Structure 1
Amino acid sequence: MRFAYPDPVTSPLLELRGLRVRHHLPLDDGGHRLGDPAPDGVDLAVRPGEVVLLLGPSGCGKSTLALATNGLVPHVVDADVTGTLTAGGHDVAATRPPLLAADVAMVFQDPDAQVVTGSVLDEVCFAPENLRRPPAEVLARAEGALRQVGLWERRGDDPALLSGGGRQRLALACALAVGARLLVLDEPTANLDPDGVEQFYATLRSVTASGERGVLLVEHDLDAAVEAADRVVVLDAAGRVATSGPVREVLAGRAEELAELGVWLPTTTLAALRLRAAGVPIDPLPLTPAELTGALDAVSLPAPVAVQEPDVPPVDRRDVVVSVDHLTVRRGGRTVLDDVSLDVARGDLLALVGANGAGKTTLAQLVAGVLRPRRRAVAGSVRVGGLDPWRADVRDLTAAVGFVFQNPEHQFVTGRVDDELAHGLRLRGVPDGEVVARVDDVLDRFGLGALRDRHPFWLSGGQKRRLSVGTAIVCRPDVLVLDEPTYGQDRERAVELLDLLTTLHDDGTTVVVVSHDMQLVAEHATRVVALAGGRVVADGSPAVLLRDDAVLAAAGLRTPPLARATGALRDPAWHAVTRLADLPAARLPAVHLAGADA
């Protein structure tokens, strides 16, 4: 049933009143039980022309709320829903998702979950065709959307040939082609490189500039999102609204409260909180690098922590644990990796960076042995701890290297969280008592103890990510390879995860991280390897490479937010500061410092 609003221009495209969702969780006997409510009693509205940013810690119900906007919850995903929800003028409880498709377009947290055709062009045409638009209009919409996201030249490709970031942009193009007035975007930049993130938000601004469309945005990366959003709604861990209001009023005015909730803040806001705790009079708190630069230039600054910028020494061949030798890989007629040679020393914390499609994930998967290429498609070799990861026995390989997929669901093989953690240990013949002890330790570390009997697919996105990391580290491999490890994590859990990786690294584990989060790289990596077009274009220390504009440009990357702010300061002593840990500060609780020195 469609409602007639008195003012179609300013009346909400989306309105929630007291929305409360409890999922039906399956039991071993075939029945189900109701989970805890998340979200719980949420009021929220999105009007034409505005972008509403939805924040909250992992597991608070953000993705569930997003799925409820187009009726997937409860019409497809079984759940008990109370309260009222109208979207595009429809009562969602009484409207099946196909009837909402023309009014509500959604980009899922996992872009692979919505790919249904064999070519990029067909994928974008699929929805408007099913809405029975004329063929000429379908093609015009598809071309316009693909050009907006930079994929028109790849319209004939199979979506499977796109990088993770490419598939994320494809999902956005599909949403744009529908022409819906309401866009619901769940972590839409999670797999995008910094240049892609910038382009995405430029596209988003152009989409809402006419004042006809509205956007509900679920996002953790606020460094770019903060300038695109108009209002913020923050949920607490119980799924209730903790605060809401204009972006600056909430993110700057209530920054300390949000930090205590475990909600992400812009990097420059975190830096200002740290400096304020050290006595630097910063008021109001900044939200962007330019604002931080202006605030610091206006006050008397203490000397920064001494920053060392050592070059990475040549790798001693006796310490090499990962060796990539003249590796070339071709896929679908494209050269994905082009004569890559790389040695990784025991104890390195190596970051692989580069634009979408640079070959980072392919290289990581080849090192970990989860991708075993056909002989005709590959030249060169890889060795990990002396093993050939493409031919080694699985038991030997899992003792040598653990891998965390970009999409956590790709590695789940059991029906319970605790069984998922125990699976690899049991395959290796670890005694039952030790299996129980290790599993309990990981459950406790990652805050998953209360979910031990839950099916992995019923976890939130952030919880799935923590479980996927747990399955890799529980076997205690010598080398740990992670593809975008902080994707989907709230700030508190991201800090815990990064602290754990740092501890593993300090204990001698070699860690290889694929990441687009340049601030994460600045804070934690001991070495950075940048790829572009499948080739290594730079290899060195983070402090040196992340300030090299030529290298960053060649790799399609951007200077991290803190380095951008400090590099523009009048005092040259601050130009080498790239990490939160380099800032002078009084000791704060770990939750305030997201990856600094917690």
Structure 2
Amino acid sequence: MTAAPLLELDAVRIRYDGSARATPDGVSLDIRAGEVVLVLGPSGCGKSTLALALDGLVPHAVAAALEGSVRVAGADTRDRTVAELSEHVAMVFQDPDAQVVTGTLLDEVAFGPENRLVAADEVLERAERALKLVGLWDRRADNPDVLSGGGRQRLAIACALALASPVLVLDEPTANLDPAGIDEVYAVLRELANERDHAIVLVEHNLDAAVDLVDRVIVLDAAGRLVIDGPVRDVLQGRAGELLELGVWLPVSTLAAMRLRSAGVMLDPLPLTPAELAAALEAVESLPSPAPVAARAAATTLRAADPAVAAPAAAITVRDCSVQRGGRRGPIVVDGVDLDVASGDFLAIVGTNGAGKTTLLQAIAGVIPPPRGSVDVLGMDPARADARDRARRIGFVFQNPEHQFVAHTVAEELEASLRLQGVPEPERRDEVERILRRFDLVEHRDRHPFLLSGGQKRRLSVGTALVAGAPVLALDEPTFGQDRARAAELLDLLRALNDEGTTVLVVTHDLQLVADYADRVAVIQGGRVLGSGATDEVLAGPLIEAAGLRHPPLARATRGLVRHPEWQSVTRMSQLPTAGRAAA
């Protein structure tokens, strides 16, 4: 006899107050113990909203109307409290800060089972196991506030694990994690999946990490309708073209193989991992030559290699910069950093969680108290400048978009910095309309920013930085929460602005993004700059592994090729041959 589903959804439609349409729209599915289900779909299709309905937050705590039914362990969520439902479903939110309530990591993880009246000994046992699984046991006495963004994400996962609920729902659980942190999270999830008595529901854009854990994929279209439901390889390999048209993420290795198909290199079946891509390439007798590196990247490499080549004037100069978190007794998170960023550079700052990347970027943008040492942005000390002067020179996008929202509607949020600079009302209106259209936010112009989806919030935050036209842009994890189409659109926009002369700084854990878009890379470890240089040189050298990072997926597939040694330096998607370059 087949066991009853842990989750049953029947014609689920959810419409937020003030929204004209429902997303998701008419979703029906069952989820059983032992399944690991990946939810895919473009930004704004209702993935996170669907996740919130699985533990009763919709309709009990979120201002949204629920049609159809969600049944958890056989009970309709309308007839149970969120507390009662938490015995069956544990949730990890897209924003980990949304669920932190106590003063130490141990208290935070113990909070859930304590409120469920679990015996004290078992509470401590669960908390210890969960914190050890996510690598935070040694910091159990720390305040959650001192953790990096990735550290808080791991803490949120530990809290969910400690509840020991049979269903675990995770919304973008690895979005702010470095490769080591991602491995830790998926090792934990893999252990749970192997026990076969849990169900895991995963909303995730990073398919390179998730693909070997997931066994079922469901896909929502832009209207929030369930359009695909099937085994992971049937969906990602057999229906890759449809997914691409929907604008959702595919593994980098799959995207690379699809690009190669246009050049006559047929890799069948489509690879899903770097190892599969490497094996498929080795099996091809002859490959076309890689495309040359773009002229801009080549010029950056030449500049780094030849001191005689004149560098552009510096846009940013950082000297002996140090930042101490939490006052004089707090840890030093940026330690004596020297960094020069030339005008017109596209610089990526990379490092593990807690390395100091975000804090360094915040010091450069002037959004934290003045650090020790000096920071100069186009002749301005950003931490001591008034808000108007700072906004004219540098636009900043926070890792958490909600940290920068100050207005009650999307349109007012975009208008705020223009109003600050004294831009006349007709010009403000025209510029706001342009940004709304560019970031596909027109239909949300009158919604409160906090009611947007995660991807929409990110687009709005980037729009607020771009609307003022500052010559320097600093962005912390700009593609977080974005579907593939929106992420590509955003990065292409940054590339176009950079080509026009805007200096761009990006903090990211996505080294494939770094390989494809950045001209230069600075590698941070322990609050210090280990080194910086042209992207191709840094990715090919020892700095990445020395910092505890992992090479981007495409480089992992190509750097060990034996049959095609000329492909070992291929790190960028733009280096892959395309249509018109037939296989030799």
Q: TM-score range by the shorter chain?
A: over 0.9
* CA apart distance, 1:440: 1.2
Match of 1:557 in 2: 549
Give the one of 322, 341, 360 matched to 1:344: 341
CA distance in 1, matches of 2:527, 2:170: 30
Q: State the AA in 1 paired with 2:14.
A: V
* CA apart distance, 1:525: 0.3
Match of 1:461 in 2: 454
* CA apart distance, 1:312: 5.0
* CA apart distance, 1:379: 2.2
Q: How big is each residue's C-alpha offset from its partner over 1:409-440, in whole Å with a ceiling of 9 and x where there is no partner?
A: 11111111111101100111011121112111
User: What runs of 5+ residues in structure 2 fail to find an aligned partner?
Assistant: none
* CA apart distance, 1:212: 1.1
Preserved contact between residue 143 and residue 152 of structure 1 (Cα < 8 Å): yes
Q: How big is each residue's C-alpha offset from its partner over 1:301-329, in whole Å with a ceiling of 9 and x where there is no partner?
A: 11111345926536968711111101112
Match of 2:165 in 1: 180
List aligned pairs for 1:182-331, cutoff 5 A.
182-299=167-284, 300-307=286-293, 310=301, 313=304, 319-331=313-325
CA distance in 1, matches of 2:38, 2:82: 23
CA distance in 2, matches of 1:339, 1:311: 28
Q: State the AA in 1 paired with 2:344.
A: G
- Compute the TM-score of the two structures, normalised by the length of structure 1: 0.93
Preserved contact between residue 312 and residue 343 of structure 2 (Cα < 8 Å): no
List aligned pairs for 1:486-501, cutoff 5 A.
486-501=479-494
Q: How big is each residue's C-alpha offset from its partner over 1:528-548, in whole Å with a ceiling of 9 and x where there is no partner?
A: 001001011120122121123
CA RMSD of aligned residues (A): 1.5
Q: How big is each residue's C-alpha offset from its partner over 1:306-354, in whole Å with a ceiling of 9 and x where there is no partner?
A: 3459265369687111111011122242110111100111000000000
CA distance in 2, matches of 1:535, 1:67: 40
Give the one of 413, 425, 435 matched to 2:428: 435
Moved more, 88-97 or 223-232: 88-97
Q: How big is each residue's C-alpha offset from its partner over 1:339-392, in whole Å with a ceiling of 9 and x where there is no partner?
A: 11001110000000000000000001111111114xxxx421111111111111
1:524 to 2:517 alignment: yes
Q: How big is each residue's C-alpha offset from its partner over 1:139-182, in whole Å with a ceiling of 9 and x where there is no partner?
A: 11101000000001111111010000000000000000011110
Moved more, 74-83 or 313-322: 313-322
CA distance in 2, matches of 1:11, 1:216: 17
CA distance in 2, matches of 1:475, 1:563: 37
1:139 to 2:124 alignment: yes
CA distance in 2, matches of 1:369, 1:266: 36
Preserved contact between residue 58 and residue 463 of structure 1 (Cα < 8 Å): yes
Q: State the AA in 2 paired with 1:435.
A: R
List aligned pairs for 1:467-546, cutoff 5 A.
467-546=460-539
* CA apart distance, 1:78: 2.0
List aligned pairs for 1:345-364, cutoff 5 A.
345-364=342-361
* CA apart distance, 1:12: 1.8
Q: State the AA in 1 paired with 2:501.
A: G
Q: State the AA in 2 paired with 1:23.
A: Y
CA distance in 2, matches of 1:291, 1:144: 34
Q: State the AA in 2 paired with 1:561.
A: P
Q: How big is each residue's C-alpha offset from its partner over 1:199-225, in whole Å with a ceiling of 9 and x where there is no partner?
A: 111111011211111100000110111
CA distance in 2, matches of 1:318, 1:253: 48
Q: State the AA in 2 paired with 1:310.
A: T
* CA apart distance, 1:554: 1.9
Preserved contact between residue 303 and residue 311 of structure 2 (Cα < 8 Å): no
Give the one of 358, 368, 376 matched to 1:371: 368
* CA apart distance, 1:266: 0.3
Match of 1:580 in 2: 573
CA distance in 1, matches of 2:208, 2:580: 24
Give the one of 32, 53, 69 matched to 1:68: 53
| SS of the residue 2:265 aligns to | coil
Match of 2:30 in 1: 45
User: What runs of 5+ residues in structure 1 fail to find an aligned partner?
Assistant: 1-5, 26-33, 589-598
Match of 1:16 in 2: 9
Q: State the AA in 2 paired with 1:306.
A: P
Matched length:
568
Q: Report the identity percentage.
A: 59
CA distance in 2, matches of 1:45, 1:108: 22
Q: State the AA in 1 paired with 2:457.
A: K
Match of 2:390 in 1: 397
Q: State the AA in 2 paired with 1:440.
A: E
Match of 2:444 in 1: 451
CA distance in 1, matches of 2:123, 2:538: 45
Show structure 1 runs of 4+ deviating over 4 A. 314-318
CA distance in 2, matches of 1:205, 1:455: 38
CA distance in 2, matches of 1:519, 1:63: 25
Preserved contact between residue 51 and residue 171 of structure 2 (Cα < 8 Å): yes
CA distance in 2, matches of 1:497, 1:120: 36
| SS of the residue 1:546 aligns to | helix
Preserved contact between residue 50 and residue 214 of structure 1 (Cα < 8 Å): yes
Match of 2:402 in 1: 409
Give the one of 381, 384, 403 matched to 1:388: 381
Q: State the AA in 2 paired with 1:156.
A: A
Match of 1:591 in 2: none
| SS of the residue 1:355 aligns to | coil
CA distance in 1, matches of 2:438, 2:67: 34
Rate the CA distance shift 1:72–1:248 in 2: closer, same or farther, 3 A.
same
* CA apart distance, 1:80: 1.6
Preserved contact between residue 72 and residue 88 of structure 2 (Cα < 8 Å): yes
| SS of the residue 2:301 aligns to | coil
CA distance in 1, matches of 2:135, 2:238: 37
| SS of the residue 1:310 aligns to | helix
| SS of the residue 1:77 aligns to | coil
Preserved contact between residue 465 and residue 473 of structure 2 (Cα < 8 Å): yes
CA distance in 1, matches of 2:163, 2:498: 47
CA distance in 2, matches of 1:412, 1:86: 35
CA distance in 1, matches of 2:456, 2:368: 25
Preserved contact between residue 418 and residue 453 of structure 1 (Cα < 8 Å): yes
Q: State the AA in 1 paired with 2:165.
A: A
